[in-house]
Amino acid sequence: MQDTFRHKGLRKKLVDTIREKGITDSKILAAIEAIPRHFFMDSSFLEFAYQDKPFPIGSGQTISQPYTVAFQTMLLDVQRGHKVLEVGTGSGYQACVLTELGVKVFSIERQRKLYIKTKAFIETVNWKPQLFLGDGYEGLPKFAPFDRVLITAAAPEIPAALISQLKTGGYMVIPHGEGEEQTMLRLTKQADGSYTKEEFGVFRFVPMLGDLGND
């Protein structure tokens, strides 16, 4: 797939839109500008790739809205060299945005079909997050502890296993709640294993589901 001048122009406009919505971190905006979002989308949605909207990516899932990707990335407040666990690989776009910021990304996807498709696709691009098929509720104990944990599906509860895989002082960013709308939370892990909580408004995500399906 090609990244033409037209795509680059549309991407600049998308970055302007996200900036106007309040994302001012120049490194995050540069990462959004660097990554051809249309590479991550199904062919039938290519022409919409630079609209600030979520789109279907198959298996009943979506690639998140670019503003939401930027917002969650801002809340994560990553530093180069951080180890980040992402739950919900989906298209791999968010994982690549984090990789572009110099982060070592470990991303889990629950749906086999989507995992296989995204894993094959990631081989073809310059960003190399590590992808895993599994249940995000369990995390990746083998690779823990993580500096940051990012959940990109709606979580009805705070996954205890993921708190335990977070470093002291580390952040978990998680859209929390049942139903159609969730509250975006940033949890900070304390030395005694508990966490403090900050709230950042209402978002809409597809649900985080339990044990592996056959899909």
Indicate the SS3 state at residue 22: coil
What is the strand order of the sheet 83-87 is part of?
Answer: 130-133, 104-109, 83-87, 146-151, 166-176, 182-189, 195-203
- Asked about 44 being catalytic, the answer comes back as no
Burial of 119 (0-12, 13-18, 19+ CB in 10 A): middle
- Asked if 146 touches ligand SAM (CB under 6 A), the answer is no
The contact pattern for ligand SAM, residues 73-112, with x = CB under 6 A and - = no contact, is: --------------xx-xx-xx-------------xxxx-
Among 36, 66, 129, 136, binds ligand SAM (CB under 6 A): 136
Interface positions, 34-63, toward ligand SAM (CB under 6 A): 61-63
CB of 80 to ligand SAM, least distance (A): 21
Task: Determine which one of 26, 59, 64, 91 is catalytic.
Answer: 64
Q: Which of 45, 135, 156, 188 binds ligand SAM (CB under 6 A)?
A: 135
| Cα 212 from Cα 215, distance rounded (Å) | 8
- Count of positions on this chain that bind ligand SAM (CB under 6 A): 24
Map residues 153-192 to x or -, x wherever contact with ligand SAM holds by CB under 6 A.
x---------------------------------------
Please report how many Cα atoms fall inside a 13 Å half-sphere around the Cα of residue 24, on the Cβ side.
1
- Of 7-15, 26-34, 74-82, 129-137: span binding ligand SAM (CB under 6 A): 129-137
205 by DSSP, 3-state: which? Answer: coil
160 CB neighbour count, 10 Å cutoff: 11
What whole-number distance in Å separates Cα of residue 86 and Cα of residue 6?
A: 31
User: Tokens in use for 157?
Assistant: 């509860």
Binding site for ligand SAM (CB under 6 A): 61-64, 87-88, 90-91, 93-94, 108-111, 114, 135-137, 152-153, 205-206, 208-209
Residues annotated as part of the active site: 64
